[in-house]
Amino acid sequence: MTKAELINAIQKTKGLPELTKKATGEIVDAVFTQLTKAIKKEKRFVYPGFGTFTVRKRKARKGRNPRTGEEIKIAATKTVTFKPAPQLKKKL
């Protein structure tokens, strides 16, 4: 699903006030901005019934350049993982 498809789906949801595509897009952007800030600050974001986003550290490791086969060092990084809630798993 693309961002435009998400905005259209939200607009078609019954029971919500009618908003323009621009306003709906701004709300979607605001939600993801706040989600990003929460994950960055607290290292965790939980939405009951949906799941949990957490920050994980990946250790430095050795890898290979696929073109040359040369061994390279891959630096340590942080990544975001998602664990779905049991309610979400049941709906899949």
Please check whether residue 45 is in contact with residue 33, taking contact to mean a CB–CB distance below 8 angstroms: no
Dihedral sign, Cα of residue 74, residue 37, residue 42, residue 2? negative
Query: Which pLDDT value is given to residue 60?
Result: 95
Please check whether residue 76 is in contact with residue 58, taking contact to mean a CB–CB distance below 8 angstroms: yes
Q: Domain coordinates of the chain in residue numbers?
A: 1-42, 43-92
Which pTM value belongs to this model?
A: 0.74
- Our CA angle for 21, 34, 75, nearest 5°, is 115
Query: Which pLDDT value is given to residue 18?
Result: 87
Query: Which pLDDT value is given to residue 5?
Result: 94
* Range 43-92 has CATH code 4.10.520.10: yes
**Could you report the per-residue pLDDT of 7-32, keeping only the tens digit for each?**
999 998 888 888 899 999 999 999 99
List, for the chain, all residue ranges whose pLDDT scores fall below the cut of 50. none
